[in-house]
Amino acid sequence: MSAGWFRRRFLPGEPLPAPRPPGPHASPVPYRRPRFLRGSSSSPGAADASRRPDSRPVRSPARGRTLPWNAGYAEIINAEKSEFNEDQAACGKLCIRRCEFGAEEEWLTLCPEEFLTGHYWALFDGHGGPAAAILAANTLHSCLRRQLEAVVEGLVATQPPMHLNGRCICPSDPQFVEEKGIRAEDLVIGALESAFQECDEVIGRELEASGQMGGCTALVAVSLQGKLYMANAGDSRAILVRRDEIRPLSFEFTPETERQRIQQLAFVYPELLAGEFTRLEFPRRLKGDDLGQKVLFRDHHMSGWSYKRVEKSDLKYPLIHGQGRQARLLGTLAVSRGLGDHQLRVLDTNIQLKPFLLSVPQVAWLVRSFLPGNQEDPHRFSKLAQMLIHSTQGKEDSLTEEGQVSYDDVSVFVIPLHSQGQESSDH
């Protein structure tokens, strides 16, 4: 998959844009419908162009060209999003150096050149301003590279050793590792998980230092050693398209899908709700007339439903309220995982959202697959990305069912999974 959506990243030290105040985040900025370059599908130059606010077209990096970061293997459709858009993206080559734990107990770079090479694509859907999404687009890949370099010896071993330096303290160490079923892929998954945590901490520090706010979801694809990894914290979606199958590669984390975890936390720490919210879920918000009635509800221990008699405290605003894409955590946030939001509070209160949020991604991996057929048109992936975005907006070539139109920002990466031969001939 590729042909995608792409944002220029901010350079280190470059000032971040001023934040917008947080608030209900369904559509925290006035909606401006993204405009596509008409006819771009028949004009390769246009499809490769990124539009900046001043409308000067900027040439994309050449296809397959390797830049230090945030470039490489992507074609660009920007849909006139500004540099300060809450949707951000990054992609590029992942160059992992080989390091070794030296005798001096210091990390020595044995090979300053790349030792392992992978590819990285990431989408960040921001809220409460673009600051967190921009920081994530600038930071997460560095965290990941660092995490991978710290375990690279284990990555290239037949089986990750119990001790990174290869010493064997206990003769049956390989057996212990085997019994736990630990494979090299688990080190990549662990590196992704730790990179998300690290990036979240960086965002927390940077935004606090600069007096800014905001958060973002993160959806990351990594191709490494012939395998594709998807790491998702938020409500973006990755799908694998094969000739006769469409397979979801990510699970969305929203207040609705993580209801039991969030209610459980409020059950254990009722003080997090400051007496302003009810932990319980009802089909709709209750009102005075419901008092004393037995109504449908569910609590943290229930995947099913039951009835309870309505008490006064049940009339409070629900911890999770709304349905589907409209569901909000504490009336504020539509996602339950992501990066940032360290300072986010419910409007006009001191109630924090961060305790309910996780920066832990769910990681799925699969052996790299190959895209069949239709190899003639060099812009086929751009066209597909464009068609997918159009379809969410109810355009003529729409794929979407009637009524399923989005008024939010929409970003798409299409990443073609080539065979080894195709890949090397491309580069």
Q: How far is CA 206 from CA 200, 202, 203, 268, 398, in A?
A: 10, 6, 5, 31, 41
Which residues are registered as beta bridge partners of 223?
A: 119, 228
Nearer to its own copies, 89 or 192 (CB): 192
Answer positive or negative: Cα dihedral of 113, 120, 354, 16: positive
Nearer to its own copies, 101 or 345 (CB): 101
- The answer to whether the beta carbons of residues 199 and 233 sit under 8 Å apart is no
Minimum gap (Å) between residue 204 Cβ and its own copies: 15
End-to-end CA distance of the chain: 16
Nearer to its own copies, 256 or 409 (CB): 256
> Which of 70, 86, 199 has the alpha carbon at shortest distance from 133?
86
d(Cα 375, Cα 359) in Å, to the nearest integer?
A: 38
Residues 6+ apart with CB under 8 A from 376: none
Helix (H/G/I), strand (E/B), else coil: 393: coil
Residues contributing to the site for its own copies (CB under 8 A): 101, 147, 150-151, 154, 160-165, 167, 169-170, 172-173, 176-177, 179-180, 182, 185-194, 197, 268, 283-284, 287, 289-290, 293-296, 298, 301-307, 323-324, 358, 360, 362-363
Nearer to its own copies, 80 or 299 (CB): 299
Nearer to its own copies, 194 or 400 (CB): 194
Minimum gap (Å) between residue 121 Cβ and its own copies: 19
Describe the crossing of helices 184-209 and 131-149 by its angle, rounded to 10 degrees: 140
Nearer to its own copies, 32 or 180 (CB): 180
Minimum gap (Å) between residue 300 Cβ and its own copies: 8
